[in-house]
Amino acid sequence: MSEDPVRDDSERVVRIEASGRELREALAPMLKDGHLTVLSAAHYHALREALYKNTFRRAEGTPWPTAALEKGNARGLAQLRPTVIDQQPLLPPEEEEAWTKAMWRQREELSDLDADVLDALSALWLYQARSPQDDAVADIDGLLAMRGIKPKRGGQGRRGGYEPEQRAEMLKALSHIQNLWLDMAEIEVYEEGARGGRSRTIKQTVQSRPFVITDRMGQVRLDGYMQVRKFIFRPGKVFAHFLMGPGQQTALLSAKALKYDPYRQRWEKRLARYLSWQWRVKARNADYLRPYRVETLIEAVGERVDTRNPARTRDRLEKCLDTLQRDGVIAAWQYDRWDEQLAGRKGWILDWLQATVLIEPPDPVKDTYQPLERRRVIEQEPLPDSLGERIKRARKAKGLSQMQAAEELGISQGYLSLLERGKVRESQLSGQLRARLQDWLGS
């Protein structure tokens, strides 16, 4: 009989295992072409950004560290507020003061690790749950494996596995997540239509914790302290609206986002998260190649321009984009509006910040976000071997991104995207482009 208290289909539960190989094998079914499925509502990304940028500050009328959340149509705030408040809203003054000090200590500890844990919990719940009321199970070693941390190898009388310090760091991040409280004054929620009618969007005020840990399992030491190794959790109401059902808003997040080093690869980690959210926002219109301003990308990372040596900032952003492309997080990137001759002039950094960059998502993201009406046609009626399908098949065989293939064909990426999606008929092509395509497809 399974010890997992979630439900009988326990193969969907990520278990504690002795070896790193077994842990990786247990996590593998969650991955879709190297991506995890996570929540992608505007207030989710706003909270994730508030954690890794640590924007929690003092606010009037409350003793708890508070961060404003403003993304898209979402407006609200997040607080570090102990869970004891849920049961005892009116604490004695001395207890409230002690908890307040504890929350401000936690505020100083916030980092990219907390955003990684938020994404990991989102992915684990979505993988295991079948309904919004379901619980999910996670374990500390599994979370460490999702972050790409390898356990110590055993041998010669030594035990393998993760170090106590690594597990303690993960438990600390879980404590931060557990103490988060969201007060969303305005979020758009999908409501089921009457008698199976169309869903409609309404604006609601919602308050809850993002995720609630309900049970803990582990070993109790002689001093009475429990070494937590496994726990049961579920989303709070503020997230449950968007994780499942008619208002579901999920996105593919590259597994690399969790594995990048939070210190040496902070740019890569944060930009991977930001682009994941942006691509999901743009998926409705397949408008992936709308350019990003350089200044916007730097703000998303939470960095500032090195005014003494601005070339260092430019080099770091370009190195970040190159790394993301090499790791398959993005398919390609290039400057859209930027005159390289300006780089030799005084004050060039101001022009560079206003320059724009095209960043192409990888094929797994574009394939997943195909317009729903297009997907229904594919499911109901097999498409013939159209020009678009042949172009896409040839491009993938050549190992090219849309941006790279468009450059070879002498057309824009946007036009190539239309061709691949069957939005342009072969009869509409010019004679020159038709000839170039025949040569390119036959090569």
Q: What is the pLDDT of residues 203-245, one digit of tens each?
A: 778 889 999 998 888 665 555 555 778 899 999 988 887 887 6
Checking if the pLDDT of 16 tops 50, the result is no
Beta carbons of 137 and 125 less than 8 angstroms apart? no
Residue, of 383 and 244, whose pLDDT is higher = 244
91/96 Cα distance (integer angstroms): 6
With cut-offs at 50, 70 and 90, classify the pLDDT of residue 290: confident
pLDDT exceeds cutoff 50 at 376: no
The CATH homologous superfamily for domain 381-442 is: lambda repressor-like DNA-binding domains (1.10.260.40)
The answer on pLDDT for 195 being more than 60 is no
Beta-carbon contacts of 192 under 8 Å, excluding residues fewer than 6 positions away, are: 199, 245, 246
Query: 393-423: b or e for each residue (b if 16 or more CB lie within 10 Å)?
Result: ebbeeeebbbbbbbbebebebbebbebbbee
CA-closest candidate to residue 73, choices 193, 181, 184, 183: 184
Spatial separation of the C-alpha atoms in residues 45 and 52, rounded to whole Å: 11
pLDDT at 185: 86
Task: Output the pLDDT for position 377.
Answer: 42
Asked if residue 9 has pLDDT above 60, the reply is no
Q: Residue 129's closest CA among 30, 2, 238, 20? A: 30
Q: Where are the domains of the chain?
A: 14-260, 283-361, 381-442
Q: Which of 348-362, 372-386, 394-408 has the lowest mean pLDDT?
A: 372-386
- For residue 415, CA distances in Å to 14, 90, 116, 349 come to 43, 61, 36, 32
Token pair of 220, please? Answer: 């109790």
Q: Of 37-46, 124-133, 340-349, 382-391, which range is least confident?
A: 382-391
| pLDDT given for residue 89 in this prediction | 78
Greater pLDDT, 316 or 6: 316
Residue 402 has pLDDT above 50, yes or no: yes
Q: What is the mean pLDDT of residues 171-193?
A: 83
Percent of the chain with pLDDT strictly greater than 90:
45
Residue 219, pLDDT score: 67
Q: Does the pLDDT of residue 382 top 50, yes or no? A: no
Q: Copy the structure tokens of residue 147.
A: 């972050």
Q: In what order do the strands lie in the sheet with 57-59?
A: 57-59, 62-71, 74-80, 180-191, 200-208
